[in-house]
Structure 1
């Protein structure tokens, strides 16, 4: 099975660094670009693009079905790691370096800051839906040391007010690290270490836990009574189609995911799951691909 091209950052931005990128709940690709950024080495992985000074102005580039739009965000005081679009033209960003524990910002349509709140440490995923819900998922470096991050999966309203945090039933493992997250309107699906169950969390308060046959998936797409998981079992290009019952995700078939030209799918960043769509990019954040499950 092959990915399809979804969005490509135009070449006129090639000389600028991409701080963060995602595909939002409307299927639009977002890139946050800093005109004055440099690559800084990390303790692991490739160098990280960082603004040279704080605060700074950043350019938000949006690809909406081939239509490119720009917006300037004024006075950013974070080294942004995650971003997502909110209803009414707003934007939420998360990062570090702001001088206190309020590591999330909400920006208005005019590109100016409308609020700030503490989202917690070690955010692995930040995703919003079209109904004013924001979901944050965490890895172990936050779960064990930060009370905000401790649930592993948290839901906020679009103003930064905490509405819900995961609390497993007795006998069920707590979240150590969320490996895969899918957010659709009014529902989030997560898979987490150490036991890798599939959690279905609805904004009406309903929570369901299912056993899965896949260990450590990288991403997933949910479609009706089926879920397609990508990666896991040390096979990053393997797709696992499973049928959902009340208690389990039962394996149906497997396939190999490739690039659009049939080339092998090698390294890629954390995928973005939006309902039945799974978006991912490789070493370059400029090209997004999509799998429609």
Structure 2
């Protein structure tokens, strides 16, 4: 089987090695973002790795932004969330989602001055939070929220960049609703989702157009989309398997399978939730400090 190697994309500079990373992503401009809390400690959890949590609230956090190797810093002030997701918005703003705010206002928007501009309720059990370059924000959910929270119940929701809800997914008659979004990709004006239980490829455009395609890949972890081409990573209990596919009007057709490796050819043992941005798919391992990329 043919092997495809990831490429290095961004590495958190060494001067931040002693800092705790609360959350990280790659934004719609291809910039790597790391949210760092200088006053954080590792807290154990009932399963998985310990997670970093600020010792006190409110707190100030440092956002480190890598744009093609050029690194800059942005302070965010008076934060009260334990942040799990973040992304960049147009006009040097940022949206964050997490836990611990009063009144379930678990999403917040920060301005270019690093001050909070708005807090709003995004719903429970957010699996993905992603924004595009056209002032759209998408939130995708997993089952704990879908079955318990009226906002999360749609499985996929779109907001404007001010935190106002614009749209929620309603499947066509005879199609299963979203239980959990497994793979997600956001490009300008469109979101792609593959979801449990039947794993169709959902195309949702901001002009209201919805299209569902039958897919041969069960439970993929991530995807990259460009034109009629789509690459799905993982699925079918093979986390390092790449499924290169072609989309028709109603279905996704498998063209080729390949094996994804690290840049040096070493096996891809595991990775955190991938970030799909149009034709690019960004991955990182257990460490939040190194991002890799592959593309269609």
Task: Report the counterpart of residue 284 of structure 2 in structure 1.
Answer: 281
**What is the aligned counterpart of 2:56 among 37, 46, 53?**
53
**4+ residue stretches of structure 1 with deviation over 2 A?**
none
- Counterparts of 1:72 and 1:163 in 2: how far apart (Å)? 29
Task: Report the counterpart of residue 92 of structure 2 in structure 1.
Answer: 89
Task: Report the counterpart of residue 193 of structure 1 in structure 2.
Answer: 196
Partner of 2:268: helix, strand, or coil?
coil
**What is the aligned counterpart of 2:119 among 101, 116, 119?**
116
Residues 93-139 of structure 1: CA deviation (Å, up to 9, x unaligned): 00000122110000000000000110000000000000000000000
**What is the aligned counterpart of 2:173 among 152, 170, 188?**
170
Residues 200-228 of structure 1: CA deviation (Å, up to 9, x unaligned): 00000000000000010000000110110
Task: Report the counterpart of residue 107 of structure 2 in structure 1.
Answer: 104
**What is the aligned counterpart of 2:212 among 209, 213, 231?**
209
CA RMSD of aligned residues (A): 0.5
Partner of 2:208: helix, strand, or coil?
coil
Aligned 1:1-293 pairs, distance under 5 A: 1-293=4-296
Partner of 1:46: helix, strand, or coil?
coil
Displacement, 1:267?
A: 1.1
Partner of 1:100: helix, strand, or coil?
helix
- Counterparts of 1:168 and 1:184 in 2: how far apart (Å)? 21
Mark the runs of 5 or more structure 1 residues left unpaired by the alignment: none
- Counterparts of 2:116 and 2:32 in 1: how far apart (Å)? 21
Mark the runs of 5 or more structure 2 residues left unpaired by the alignment: none
Q: TM-score, normalised by structure 1?
A: 0.99
Partner of 1:27: helix, strand, or coil?
coil
Displacement, 1:72?
A: 0.5
Displacement, 1:256?
A: 0.1
Displacement, 1:170?
A: 1.1
Partner of 2:5: helix, strand, or coil?
coil
Displacement, 1:292?
A: 1.4
Partner of 2:174: helix, strand, or coil?
coil
- Counterparts of 2:246 and 2:207 in 1: how far apart (Å)? 24
Q: TM-score, normalised by structure 2?
A: 0.98
